[in-house]
Structure 1
Amino acid sequence: MRRKYTIHIDDEPLFKQKLLAYCKNMDYCGVYDSCGYNGHGHDGVNYYSYDFLAGIGSVEAQDGSFEALNNLQRKTDWLFGYLGYDLKNELEHLYSVNYDQLYFSPTMFFQPRYVLIKRDAQWNIEYLEELDNEQSVDLFLKEINDSDTYSKSTETLTFSPKISREKYIDTVNSILEHIHKGDIYEINYCQEFCAEQVDIDPYDTYLRLIEISPTPFASFLKVKDKYVISASPERYMKKEGQTLISQPIKGTAPRGKTTVEDEKNAFDLQNCAKERSENIMIADLVRNDLSRVAKMGSVQVEELCGIYAFPQVFQMITTVVADLDDEKDAIEAIKYSFPMGSMTGAPKIRAMKLIEKYEDTKRGVYSGSVGYFTPSGDFDFNVVIRSLLYNSSNNYLSFMVGSAITAKSVPESEYEECLVKASAIFKLFNS
């Protein structure tokens, strides 16, 4: 049973830095920061969950499969962790054999010892009364405040693409042949950039990344020697009570260098037939996925092709909502919609088979999801894009970027879109 303890934070940015520094001594920690956004919504609607949420330390952790997650969720407590893209193999007759140097397990969740929450300007700590009391929580806070903060480094790294520009373009042309034959309508094709034998400070890297690219679903996850460092702008799915909210992104344009150019780029994205068709195809896929677990007639598109501004890009975002069927639970809601349509394609299963054929890197956590379950069984999960993955045991640092390939795609333009999406990470390391 958890008890709630209200705390006062004078300097919130400094406290967050110290909290990350404290996490260096933990095997498990998860941090989720809305970076000042209130989620995507329109007409005054917003779907944000918390301004800031962190799970520190681990009472119990399990990895490997949906079954492991089911076992842990029976505790009806907070759970923090990730869903890897390759959980698809557990849901369908699929496989993953591509190159992998990160070695993340298919999924991992932990029950945190402490949960820190900020919402509506109030900070609380939730602790397990069988393990802690207010005195031990005060000591925990003192240890955080005594932690040394990290200086912002100016590290320069060179990322190497796993495939050349020429191979990327050739592959897109091969994918277009599938589309022209009617094999698929859309596919999200991705490529990896990596840096090997590098020793980075993942805590400082995360702080610098969200300073350069603050996003509503930013997250930092430490699982022993592995790290997810994410500036994701996309929500996979949220469950609040019986309501499911999915907000797929399809459609990207760079920010302009002037106000006039900026406004033109946003206008052009809003009115681009290719980008709108991409978004609408995936919105239909999400509607279909949610209908498998929703009450009949409850699936609704709340906003279609909304344009949202982020520091490096404009994104086209659609919001789909549904009411979860009374006979379905939270895990089933995830199983019937995972992996998310925005990172696969349509039809989904055929697209995932072609992704395995044409991509060179095993996706792992990339295009999976980082998030949490609440004690009441609600959840909120992002889409792992615009994110760094790091294995500190073999010093392998990686990120992937991709774009949606449709019949109207121009291979060279798709490659340039990938570089736009990677711009924040390149900037982070002076690349």
Structure 2
Amino acid sequence: MSLYNNPRILLIDSYDSFTYNLAALCRKSISNCTVYIIKNNQLDWNELRPKLRYFSAVIVGPGPGSPLVERDIGITRHIWHLEDSAVLPVFGVCLGLQSLAVEYGAALKRLEVVKHGQISRIQHEGVEIFKGLDEINAVRYHSLHVKLQPDGEVEALAWANDDDDENGRVVMGVKHKVRPFWAVQYHPESVMTGAGGLEVLSNFWRLAKHWLINHERTIQPWDLDADKTFRFGWPQPRPSTCKHYLAIGRVQTITLPLPGAILPSICEMLGVQDEQSPFVLLDSAAQPGRFSIIGCLHASTPTITYFLGDTFVSVKQGKRTSHIDLGPHDIWSWLATFMRERKAEGGRKDLPFWGGLIGYLSYELGVDSLDIALSDRQEQGRHPHANLVFVDRSIIVDAAAGNVFIQSLLPDDSTWMTSTARMLKCWRRTNVNPSAEPSISPIEVNLPDKKLYISRINQAKQYLRSGDSYELCLTAQTKVKVQKSPTSSIGRSSSWTLYKSLRRNNPAPHAAYLRLHPSTLVCSSPERFLSFSRPPGSVYQLRPIKGTLQKGPEITRTVAERALRGSTKEVAENLMIVDLIRHDLHGVVGDNVDVPQFCVVEEYETVWQLVSVIEGATLSSEVDEGELGWEALKRSMPPGSMTGAPKKRSVEILQTLEDNERSIYSGVCGYWCVSGAGDWSIVIRSCFKYDDTFETGSTSNPSSTEEWTIGAGGAITDLSDPQGEWDEMVLKLQSTLRAFNIKTQ
């Protein structure tokens, strides 16, 4: 391998949530390079040091915490003190710059005004890594900075001039006077950093090559020892299990023109009011949603549940439950295998769903995928962490075209399909409206404690100022107790009544009604999390929302643009999540990730939202794109907009600030289609209940009440006003409480 034409770059990751963005930037800036990524504590220094000979240069990435804390910096600090014979070019980013500077005598200081997700003008003298560049704008994520010694071994190359009442002049770029070490404080890999990213890294490689030639440094050929230690370069090749599998099923479809179809009344005709029976509905209850999906469940429909820590998956069909050993699988790969055996073809290309898995995946299931130990604070009668049903009969309602589609994956299912079509035609002729039911009256409401919540906001801000996180999505729970409807009365389902009330008061494009005992979820989410289109040529899209403004007579688009796009805080929150999501998606599809929309104000039924769009695609023909979408879901959970960044450290901090597991709230709900497509939304503006009465069949001393849990919260940044954050949390809470006829003060 040629030193100049095919360089090897070692990227040291300090558990950051932007690492793959930096790897992608390296591959774009340094032609034909191969990037190898290791964690900063993955190898002992004595093991890594002799293996640096395999590499042309090192990138020391960003990360949470301080360069003075062993847990945060790991082996990075040793890089700067290599003996002369082992020195190689190094480029540091953020924590990497701070580490370089403090190892050579700089003082580490806290910023007076934290800069998280904010864009600053970077001034420089046009030399070294800034050669040929004009003034640049770059994104900053830091609460710590360095003050260099006047005559020290590290000198400044660039600065940001914050206002005098903020931080004054802050070092943004440095170099070592003798050794081939350069670094920047800002984040070159951020989507909103322009020339300060690509061109600066290109300049680094130009300087690095020059140093390598002048010092006649040789690169050790790659061998089995290197392969064993570092394995694959990034992006890693896909495993052989992700090859294409032929579809073995066939989708049958009947199309009915039913303009003006009323979705709730169709659901009631299908038996949704029978609280004892499972029911699933994914409802596009407001623009820009279009298609609603009703699962037509029957006695043989398999329901799949999984609890973290179990070594088996439970599959229930009718009254029979089987416990299937996971064996070598985790729940994610087990479900991928399950769906691999149920692929189907022949459905209408214009419909999003032909059949497949529908249900929810909890927040804690995502936490587990980060290798974070769950706290021991778990509710009695906890909800399954995965609760999914395989839908082989479905009805799709197209609100835009006024058509209804009846679908089945079962062979020779024409009898059910024609009888369902006949039933729907009769409904159309009689023009039945959904039943009018009494509203639900709460018996008891326990709101979050305001004083405690505000104290947690202040604690969160301390973590932000210490450099442990850039943003923390703090949440709290409200409990609402209501009178339970008599189980003998099919005509009265309290959860369905609640859903219709929520749908009426807070219509949303990603609403859901999932009654999968022992859990029932009533959801009116505005936010799509991840969708992946039908292969071939799948596109993986995430649409984070950060920034919301309630609509009103005087809130025009112009006013909304000024309030949302014009807000430093709102744009910073959105930008942080965009950069985090880019990293998550890069980790699955490799280089091919783009941001076609950044911080655009979109109009919804009741609010204006600040929405960005991140898209990725794989260019390889050797992967199963449906399974890749499933892997993207696993890698992206828990949703970054519900945690903060860097994700792993932020989740760990949130476990100390929140008193309960979040459970279904801030997890995801949606579908994985037998065609390979999928669509998952974030569970917000929602409530859920636990009731094992129908699961266990117990009728002794049944409770006359049921308790619903509502989660709500907001992204805490250093710009957050505690009272304002409390008000925002209550506003979000109110959108669900209205369904119970509850108004907060």
CA shift in 2, pair 1:227/1:378, >3 Å:
same
Question: Do structure 1's residue 53 and structure 2's residue 293 form an aligned pair?
Answer: yes
Q: Which residue of 2 aligns with 1:69?
A: 335
Q: Which residue of 1 aligns with 2:150?
A: none
- Partner of 2:440, secondary structure, is coil
Q: State the 1:249 CA deviation.
A: 1.1
Amino acid across the alignment from 2:295: G
Amino acid across the alignment from 1:173: N
Amino acid across the alignment from 1:238: S
Which whole-Å deviations, capped at 9, do the CAs of 1:191-241 have from their partners, x for residues lacking one? 101113642611121122111111111111110242111110000100013
Q: Which sits farther off after the overlay, 244-253 or 93-102?
A: 93-102
Q: Which sits farther off after the overlay, 10-19 or 62-71?
A: 10-19
Q: State the 1:406 CA deviation.
A: 0.7
Amino acid across the alignment from 2:384: S
TM-score by length of 1: 0.89
CA contact (8 A) 1:194 1:397 kept: yes
Question: Do structure 1's residue 301 and structure 2's residue 551 form an aligned pair?
Answer: no
Distance of 1:233 and 1:342 partners within structure 2: 13
Which whole-Å deviations, capped at 9, do the CAs of 1:143-198 have from their partners, x for residues lacking one? 77789943232333266345310000001101110100101110110010111364
Q: Which residue of 1 aligns with 2:721?
A: 410
Which whole-Å deviations, capped at 9, do the CAs of 1:248-278 have from their partners, x for residues lacking one? 111223333x325885355212211111101
Distance of 2:582 and 2:397 partners within structure 1: 32
CA shift in 2, pair 1:225/1:397, >3 Å:
same
- Partner of 1:12, secondary structure, is coil
- Partner of 1:37, secondary structure, is coil
CA shift in 2, pair 1:191/1:126, >3 Å:
same
Q: Which residue of 2 aligns with 1:4?
A: 253
Q: Which residue of 2 aligns with 1:46?
A: none
Q: 2:402 aligns with which of 87, 110, 121?
A: 121
CA shift in 2, pair 1:197/1:231, >3 Å:
closer
Q: 1:100 aligns with which of 379, 387, 390?
A: 379
- Partner of 1:292, secondary structure, is helix
Q: How many equivalent pairs are there?
A: 418
Q: Which residue of 2 aligns with 1:87?
A: 365
Q: Which residue of 2 aligns with 1:352?
A: 651
Question: Do structure 1's residue 133 and structure 2's residue 382 form an aligned pair?
Answer: no
Q: Which residue of 2 aligns with 1:324?
A: 618
1:219-258 matches, cutoff 5 A: 219-240=512-533, 241=535, 242-256=538-552, 258=553
Distance of 2:338 and 2:718 partners within structure 1: 43
Please tell me whether Structure 1 or Structure 2 has the larger radius of gyration of its CA atoms. Answer: 2
Q: State the 1:102 CA deviation.
A: 6.3
Q: State the 1:379 CA deviation.
A: 0.1
- Partner of 2:656, secondary structure, is helix
CA contact (8 A) 2:294 2:395 kept: yes
Structure 2 runs not aligned, ≥5 long: 1-248, 307-330, 344-354, 486-493, 694-702
Distance of 2:670 and 2:405 partners within structure 1: 19
- Partner of 2:583, secondary structure, is helix
Which whole-Å deviations, capped at 9, do the CAs of 1:396-428 have from their partners, x for residues lacking one? 211110100011111110010011112222222
CA shift in 2, pair 1:197/1:103, >3 Å:
farther
TM-score by length of 2: 0.53
Q: 2:282 aligns with which of 20, 25, 32?
A: 32
Q: 2:442 aligns with which of 150, 157, 168?
A: 157
Amino acid across the alignment from 2:681: N
Distance of 2:435 and 2:515 partners within structure 1: 17
* CA RMSD after TM alignment: 2.5
Distance of 2:266 and 2:561 partners within structure 1: 33
Q: Which residue of 1 aligns with 2:388?
A: 109
Q: Which sits farther off after the overlay, 352-361 or 322-331?
A: 322-331
Amino acid across the alignment from 1:322: G
Q: Which residue of 1 aligns with 2:50?
A: none
- Partner of 1:409, secondary structure, is coil
Q: Which residue of 1 aligns with 2:4?
A: none
Distance of 2:405 and 2:507 partners within structure 1: 23
Amino acid across the alignment from 1:299: V
CA contact (8 A) 2:259 2:403 kept: no
Which whole-Å deviations, capped at 9, do the CAs of 1:310-336 have from their partners, x for residues lacking one? 444332111111113644622211111
CA shift in 2, pair 1:236/1:7, >3 Å:
same
Amino acid across the alignment from 1:301: V
- Partner of 2:589, secondary structure, is coil
Sequence identity percentage: 24
- More RCO (CA 8 Å, sep 6+): 1
Q: 1:18 aligns with which of 268, 280, 288?
A: 268
Amino acid across the alignment from 2:614: V
CA shift in 2, pair 1:330/1:118, >3 Å:
same
CA contact (8 A) 2:510 2:525 kept: yes
Which whole-Å deviations, capped at 9, do the CAs of 1:94-148 have from their partners, x for residues lacking one? 2143342562211122112411113443321111333x53222333456777899
Q: Which residue of 1 aligns with 2:735?
A: 424
CA shift in 2, pair 1:380/1:116, >3 Å:
same
Amino acid across the alignment from 2:718: A
Distance of 1:20 and 1:161 partners within structure 2: 35
1:164-313 matches, cutoff 5 A: 164-196=449-481, 198-199=483-484, 201-240=494-533, 241=535, 242-256=538-552, 258-259=553-554, 264-265=559-560, 267-296=562-591, 298-313=592-607
Distance of 1:231 and 1:63 partners within structure 2: 23
- Partner of 1:422, secondary structure, is helix
Structure 1 runs not aligned, ≥5 long: 40-49
CA contact (8 A) 2:392 2:410 kept: no
Amino acid across the alignment from 1:56: C
Q: State the 1:70 CA deviation.
A: 2.5
CA contact (8 A) 1:255 1:262 kept: no
Amino acid across the alignment from 1:316: L
Q: State the 1:351 CA deviation.
A: 0.8
Q: Which residue of 1 aligns with 2:673?
A: 374
